[in-house]
Amino acid sequence: MSVRVWRAEPHEAETVARLLVAFRDSFGRDWPSDNAFLAGVEKLILNVDTDLLLAAPNDDSPPTGVCQLRFRFGIWHAATDCWLEDLYVEPASRRTGVAKALVEFAVQQAQARGCRRMELDVSDVNEPAIALYQSLGFGYKSEPNKDFLMRLTLPDSQD
């Protein structure tokens, strides 16, 4: 049997949220709350600019992997860009092909939408993830005078 990957449907929001909460927990965090994750998933699962993907190790298993894709038009490429925002596989399903199948399906989703670029960020200490992405053709720039991902965390607008 092979890994099964599909685009999550609204009735699967709790499953997506459960896996994303496990991802949050893997960082030792407890915020955003479980309820906030579920509310966010329920909103995003209906958004045409987001794909939430689920994966199971085989047809008889429940989902053990999740991937969030975000799409936006990029003026500099005159096409839609795809951002692989989250990818998580439960520890018991790692090294079984679930993550690879999720990324391959994500690439297919991006191609089907006419994307010319797919990007992601990954921790520089997450060597298995880096190796996976590189094996699927993703590259990164570490040379001087090249672009790199930068982030600005904005203050909470509710203050």
Residue 153 lies in a domain: no
Would you give per-residue pLDDT tens digits along the chain (159 residues)? 699 999 999 999 999 999 999 999 999 999 999 999 999 999 999 999 999 999 999 999 999 999 999 999 999 889 999 999 999 999 999 999 999 999 999 999 999 999 999 999 888 889 999 999 999 999 876 655 566 666 666 676 554
> Has residue 29 been placed in a domain?
yes
Is residue 55 within 8 Å of 65, Cβ to Cβ? Answer: yes
Both tokens of 48, joined, read 């045409």
Read off the pTM: 0.91
Between strands 50-56 and 79-89, the pairing is unpaired
Report if residue 30 sits inside a domain: yes
CATH of residue 112's domain is: 3.40.630.30
